[in-house]
Amino acid sequence: MKRRTLLSGLSGILAAGLAPGLWQRSFAADPEKKRRVVIAGGGFAGAKTAVDLKRLVPDAEILLIEPEERFFSAPSSLDVAFGRIPMASASRSYDLLARKGIRLIKGRVLGADPVTHNVETSQGSFAYSALVAASGIDLVPEAIEGLKGENALSNLSLYDRKRLPDLAKAIADFKGGTIVVSAPAGAIKCAPAPYEYTLLLAHHLKSRGLKGKVVLIDDRPNPQPQSVASGFSAAMEAMGPYIDYLFQETVARVDVKKREVETGMGDKIAYDLLTLIPPNRGSALVKTLGIAGQGDSFAEVDPTTMKCAAHEAVYAVGDAARTPYGISASSSTQGALLCAAAVADSFGVRQPEITASAPARIQTVCYPFAGPELSMRTVSRFQVHMDKGEMKLHSDPDIEAKGTPVNLAARRKWEDDLLASIFG
Ligand SMILES: Cc1cc2nc3c(=O)[nH]c(=O)nc-3n(C[C@H](O)[C@H](O)[C@H](O)COP(=O)(O)OP(=O)(O)OC[C@H]3O[C@@H](n4cnc5c(N)ncnc54)[C@H](O)[C@@H]3O)c2cc1C
């Protein structure tokens, strides 16, 4: 190891409040010694993995590395955007995790050496016995022609937590006109969000007697997820002239000076409020760590353990990983438990109720808004096991493609319970 790296590692350890003596600890499988797990990213997946792991292996040393000041619950984004709750109610202090014995380091993971088991961070380097990539998905607004640099500020995206308060103000102050929303190509965080958002914007216009419409430019042929497509289509049709649904259409470019979006078909749409969802890409960190699958930057994992195929003792969880469970907070936190159990297992702490029960059982839930006071329901129960490297998947969905107040209440409870399971 270079001297500079070692020194920065020591300063990082001191900054994190760790004893310098820990630095050169051997992490060979000695049950007497403390095990160190480094988790890159403190979103739903990383935070839940940390909490589950601390519960399963109380003597493990868990370093959670995260650049943001506070945790934000993205499923509350719509409530924040429509002024139903303030940003603060949808966020949590990371101190709540520190109180559970998890060590938090404000910074970024920059890379890792899978041979020496050292991870490089903006706060120094750390030896690890297990490394978990939980760095989510990257948003790439600059991939839209016309939205590079300062021009990106013209777009108030629902997916950009930093600009949610500005978006909430823009929606509250909106005096009427055309709002342009998009659902970009490829896998996106929370597949139903663009349709929920479109519906809630249309209801907002209608309920305030504002003249105008929402134009949704969707790369797909119909709303997602497929299980509730019919419910979304019916709810959007019911909004009549308040929604223009352009399916199998793309945003080709934006002219922020003319306040105009040009579609792939060459249509030009003048906007009064631009609120596009930027293209989503697999996390850059996944690529840097060398755990990406072919053709994109989602980590290739065994979906029963979240263990990466590429390197020993490296795991990926949440939006950063490619799994059959979908991209959501629900699947991220379910995967987190599998990951924590597999890491515990690697330390010799067996979790018979989780890991020995082949196949892995996962239940993901989603309650998409069909209107301001109505939600649909899609519950997916998965059973997964690996058979000679092949994934065998059985899923058993429970779907209600019609908005009901009961599902909305279940949505609220689901998010409260999820946050309590991590921060409570
Ligand atoms: C508008 C919106 C609505 C949604 N609604 C729902 C819903 O109703 N239900 C549902 O189940 N899901 C919903 N989701 C999806 C859900 O929020 C995500 O799937 C979930 O947050 C994924 O968790 P994650 O931890 O994998 O990623 P994230 O929550 O994105 O967290 C990743 C973390 O990693 C950090 N990070 C990134 N790079 C590094 C690095 N190099 N080093 C260290 N840290 C790093 C980031 O700062 C971030 O905090 C919604 C998402 C959005 C955007």
Strand stretches in 247-334, DSSP E: 251-255, 260-263, 268-270, 273-275, 280-282, 299-302, 307-308, 314-316, 321-322
For ligand 1, atom 27, which residue shows the shortest CA distance? 136
Topology (CATH) of 3-136+283-354? FAD/NAD(P)-binding domain (3.50.50)
- Whose tokens are 């949808």? That residue is 90
In whole angstroms, give the CA distance from residue 302 to residue 409: 34
Sheet (strand 273-275) strand order: 243-246, 212-218, 177-183, 273-275
254 lines ligand 1 (CB under 6 A): no
Strands 137-139 and 280-282: antiparallel
135 lines ligand 1 (CB under 6 A): yes
User: Can you read off the two tokens belonging to residue 386?
Assistant: 């690996």
pLDDT of residue 354: 62
How many Cβ atoms are within 10 Å of 15's Cβ, its own excluded? Answer: 13
One pLDDT digit (tens) per residue for the chain, 424 residues: 333 333 333 334 334 443 332 322 233 333 444 699 999 999 999 999 999 999 999 999 999 999 999 999 999 999 999 999 999 999 999 999 999 999 999 999 999 999 999 999 999 999 999 999 999 999 999 999 999 999 999 999 999 999 999 999 999 999 999 999 999 999 899 999 999 999 999 999 999 999 999 999 999 999 999 999 999 999 999 999 999 999 999 999 999 999 999 999 999 999 999 999 999 999 999 999 999 998 888 999 999 899 999 999 999 999 999 998 899 999 999 999 999 999 999 999 987 666 545 567 788 999 999 999 999 999 988 888 777 666 677 777 899 999 999 999 999 999 999 999 999 9
- Whose tokens are 């010799």? That residue is 348
The answer to whether 158 and 275 are in contact (CB under 8 A) is yes
User: Phi/psi of residue 140, each to 5°?
Assistant: -125, 75
How many Cβ atoms are within 10 Å of 34's Cβ, its own excluded? Answer: 13
pLDDT of residue 279: 96
pLDDT of residue 383: 83
42 lines ligand 1 (CB under 6 A): yes
DSSP assignment letter at 228: G
For ligand 1, atom 26, which residue shows the shortest CA distance? 318
> CATH 3.50.50.60 in the chain, residues?
3-136+283-354, 141-279
Q: Which residues contact 94 (CB under 8 A, 6 or more apart)?
A: 42, 64, 66, 69, 70, 71, 104
| CATH dotted code for 141-279 | 3.50.50.60
pLDDT of residue 393: 74
Angstrom CA distances, 361 to 46, 70, 331, stand at 20, 31, 12
How many Cβ atoms are within 10 Å of 294's Cβ, its own excluded? Answer: 5
pLDDT of residue 209: 98
Whether omega for the bond prior to residue 279 falls within 30 degrees of 0, making it cis, is no
pTM metric for this prediction: 0.91
332 lines ligand 1 (CB under 6 A): yes
Q: Which atom of ligand 1 is closest in space to residue 78's alpha carbon?
A: 1
